[in-house]
Structure formats: structure tokens, C-alpha cells
């Protein structure tokens, strides 16, 4: 069956460092992959989408890579700030047939 894993349930890093979050998937081949941010008690907010034919995507301090051979996406936040503390969810998707999220990584950026 299809499975999505994110590297760790929780990740603590020091302010100013680069946070790297991992999303691995098995038993399917998503056409694209999305990353979302969720704050406690609120709905997820879209951050970035990367397609299977794209190796890398950037948006301000965010960078996403997509390796279809490794079946993995990496999500980087450079120069991290306490305001970046949130849960980050990946969603590999096969043309929107079943929009399923990974378990999420709870990131804490310590001042």
C-alpha cells in the first residue's frame, strides 16, 4: 500500500540555521508534491509545489527538491526564525485523486 513518511515527528534547531525536513514515499509515483505549513488549531497553508520533472523549487527562504529515483523530497528553510516554528506536511499526489498528507514534522526554531 502507499506510504508517506516524514523524517521525524519533531525537529529542534537554533535560530539562523537551516532546517531540513524529509518526505519519503513508497509504492506510488506522484506527479507532483506539495508542502504545507500548519499552525496549532488552524488549517494548513500551502507553501510550495514541485512537479516530477523539476529538480528544485525556491521561494524566498524556502527550497524544495524532488528526487523521483530516491522517492524523496527535501524541504529546506534557510536562516530559520522562531516564527518558522510550525508543523510541516508533505503531500505527494497522483493528479489529485487522493490528496493525502504525510504525518508531518513539528519544527521548533529556538532563539
Partner 1 sequence: DTEVTQTPKHLVMGMTNKKSLKCEQHMGHRAMYWYKQKAKKPPELMFVYSYEKLSINESVPSRFSPECPNSSLLNLHLHALQPEDSALYLCASSQEAGISTGELFFGEGSRLTVL
Number of H helices, E strands in the chain: 0, 10
By CB under 8 A, tell whether 97 contacts partner 1.
yes
Continuous segment of H or E residues that includes residue 49: strand 45-51
Which of residues 16 and 103 has its CB atom nearest to partner 1 in the complex? 103
- Buried-state track 69-89, b at ≥16 Cβ within 10 A, e below 16: eebbbbbbbeebeeebbbbbb
By CB under 8 A, tell whether 92 contacts partner 1.
no
By CB under 8 A, tell whether 43 contacts partner 1.
yes
Determine the Cα–Cα distance for residues 35 and 23; give it in Å rounded to an integer.
Answer: 10
By CB under 8 A, tell whether 53 contacts partner 1.
no
Which of residues 63 and 92 has its CB atom nearest to partner 1 in the complex? 92
Which of residues 27 and 98 has its CB atom nearest to partner 1 in the complex? 98
By CB under 8 A, tell whether 89 contacts partner 1.
yes
Q: Where do contacts with partner 1 occur on this chain (CB under 8 A)? A: 31-32, 34, 36, 41-46, 49, 51, 89, 93, 95-104
Amino acid at each position: 500500500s502507499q506510504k508517506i513518511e516524514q523524517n521525524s515527528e519533531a525537529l529542534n534547531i537554533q535560530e539562523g540555521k537551516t532546517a531540513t525536513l524529509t518526505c519519503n514515499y513508497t509504492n506510488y509515483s506522484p506527479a507532483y508534491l506539495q508542502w504545507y505549513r500548519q499552525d496549532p488549531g488552524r488549517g494548513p497553508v500551502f507553501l510550495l509545489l514541485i512537479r516530477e520533472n523539476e529538480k528544485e523549487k525556491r521561494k524566498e527562504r524556502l527550497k524544495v527538491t524532488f528526487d523521483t529515483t530516491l522517492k524523496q523530497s527535501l524541504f529546506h528553510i534557510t536562516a530559520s526564525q522562531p516564527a518558522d516554528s510550525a508543523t510541516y506536511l508533505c503531500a505527494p499526489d497522483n493528479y489529485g485523486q487522493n490528496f493525502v498528507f504525510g504525518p508531518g514534522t513539528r519544527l521548533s526554531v529556538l532563539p
